[in-house]
Amino acid sequence: MMGLKIIVFLALLMGVTGSLNVTIRPEASLADDMLAHSNSVPETAEETEIVGQQNVLEPEEAVEEVMATGKLNPNHYPAQRAAKVVQHYLNTHYGSPYRVIGLNRVHSGNAEDVADSGRRYKLEISVQDFISNKTEKCTAEVLFPRGEQQRPPQVQALCEELPKLNTKVEEEALFQKYKTNKSLLSAHLPDSYGHIDPDMKPFWHLGTVASSFIMLNESTEDTLYNMAQVANVTQLETENDQLKFDYHVLLHEMISQEIIHWKLLFTWSPPEGVKVLQMEQLPHSHHHEIPLNTN
């Protein structure tokens, strides 16, 4: 009798609602939340590295299209990508074995279409010298050109204190040591154990700075580059009072998750800074593949 009452009750309920299959799906709200945040990245440079190891969700493109013009969310990819370009620009101008500039955070950003020229980003950011840990606010503009042929972004940046950082003593000591060194340097950074000897850290920094020339040249609105590893650094014979190096670097394009191999030939001296002579993307092959240390 009780079972009959339940059946009658359910029939009445179906007559009112039209269906019993009315359910609340927690995963639906979770998916919406993931979509809303799939275009977000953390504020600090260190955290950005971690986020770069994650896969980018497919809905990102639709979210970016909405946010790419006008006022930008400082934590979302459009602002962060443009700010990362500023980081590479600053390294090409001020970087050295004892000065490596990183993006600390984006405070504000705005993007606008510029006729047929491209898209211009105006940014307020903080950058950090990773060696001295000094942080400074900067204003910057980045123009990503339009056209069938990819061209490097055009950058203007104003950082009043950054050029004043004095590393001349350390740079001169390093220069004199390796200028007169009878055995030319050759190393992997980090080594197979993920370790960088303190004496080798200036050459890791130098590789980071030199790699910024590549990353600045290759950057678009759809990329986000970091240097992952110096697969090999070889010191060549000194020419014209300049230390000369052949670097094989691995760059991590964090959106596609691709590891890209590049060869860099450049010179360095304290008065002249880094002067890139050649940049060559190497073919991707298992022969060149070097496992990244993920510790």
CATH number at residue 87: 3.10.450.10
pLDDT tens for 20-47 read 333 223 333 323 332 233 333 433 333 3
Six token digits for residue 56: 């980018």
Instruction: Return the H-helix or E-strand segment holding 238.
Output: strand 225-239
pLDDT tens for 159-201 read 998 888 899 999 999 999 999 888 889 999 988 888 999 999 9
pLDDT of amino acid 163:
80
Average pLDDT over residues 228-247: 94
pLDDT tens for 56-108 read 333 344 344 444 679 999 999 999 999 999 999 999 999 999 999 999 999 99
Average pLDDT over residues 203-207: 97
Percent of the chain topping pLDDT 70: 73
**What does 105-123 look like in DSSP terms, one character per residue?**
EEEEEEEEEETTTEEEEEE
The predicted model scores a pTM of 0.75
Q: How many helices (H) and strands (E) does the chain have?
A: 7, 10
Residue 20 lies in a domain: no
Domain range for 167 is 40-281
Residue 25 lies in a domain: no
CA 288/CA 277 separation, integer angstroms: 22
Three-state DSSP state, 147? coil
Residue 128 lies in a domain: yes
Residue 115 — φ and ψ, nearest 5°? 40, -125
- For the chain, the maximum distance between any two Cα atoms, rounded to a whole number of angstroms, is 103
- DSSP E strands, 100-195: 101-114, 118-129, 135-145, 154-158, 186-189
Residue 1 lies in a domain: no
Average pLDDT over residues 106-115: 95
Query: Structural domain tally of the chain?
Result: 1
Residue 32 lies in a domain: no
Three-state DSSP state, 200? helix
CA 231/CA 238 separation, integer angstroms: 22
